[in-house]
């Protein structure tokens, strides 16, 4: 949602600039300027469209954003999921050291690859 608001802000700034500059500025646009403006407008429209579609459909939101993936369960690495996520055991151990102070895989109850790309580590009690 944050990216939508940023895109809208950029769009509004461009709109105000063109209103202030007047028609003469629009007439002096180079091909590159016009293409850049069209690309920006297209990206804004696509982003808004996807946001609306995600609000209306849980399936569409799951397809676009994905879901969390369990990489380690009860201290055992799930190698297929790790390979699918293009990660290795070092990535899990790095997250475990930085967030929980753990140094071995057997200390990890669950390691979960979140939707935002971060690895959450839940240690054994």
pTM score, whole prediction = 0.61
| Domain membership of residue 112 as a residue range | 69-123
**Measured between alpha carbons, how far is 76 from 18 in angstroms, rounded to an integer?**
59
**In a shared domain, residues 85 and 55:** no
Give the helix, strand, coil percentages of the chain, each rounded to 5: 65, 15, 20
Domain ends where: 47, 64, 81?
64
pLDDT tens profile 55-110? 999 898 888 888 899 999 999 999 999 999 999 999 999 999 999 999 999 999 99
* Per-residue model confidence as pLDDT tens digits over 9-45: 777 767 766 776 676 666 677 878 767 877 877 788 8
Same-domain check for residues 33 and 84: no
Query: What length does the chain have?
Result: 125
User: What's the pLDDT at 35?
Assistant: 74
More confident residue, 4 or 83: 83
User: Do 54 and 74 belong to one domain?
Assistant: no
- How many domains in the chain? 2
């Amino acid at each position: 949602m944050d990216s939508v608001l940023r895109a809208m802000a950029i769009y509004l700034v461009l709109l105000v600039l063109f209103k202030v500059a007047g028609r003469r500025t629009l007439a002096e646009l180079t091909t590159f300027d016009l293409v850049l403006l069209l690309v920006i407008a297209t990206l804004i429209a696509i982003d808004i469209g996807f946001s609306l579609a995600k609000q209306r459909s849980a399936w569409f939101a799951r397809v676009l954003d994905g879901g969390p993936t369990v990489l380690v369960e009860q201290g055992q690495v799930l190698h297929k999921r790790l390979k699918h996520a293009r990660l290795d055991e070092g990535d899990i151990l790095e997250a475990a050291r930085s967030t929980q102070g753990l140094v071995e895989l057997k200390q990890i109850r669950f390691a979960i690859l979140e939707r935002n790309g971060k690895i959450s580590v839940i240690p054994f009690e």
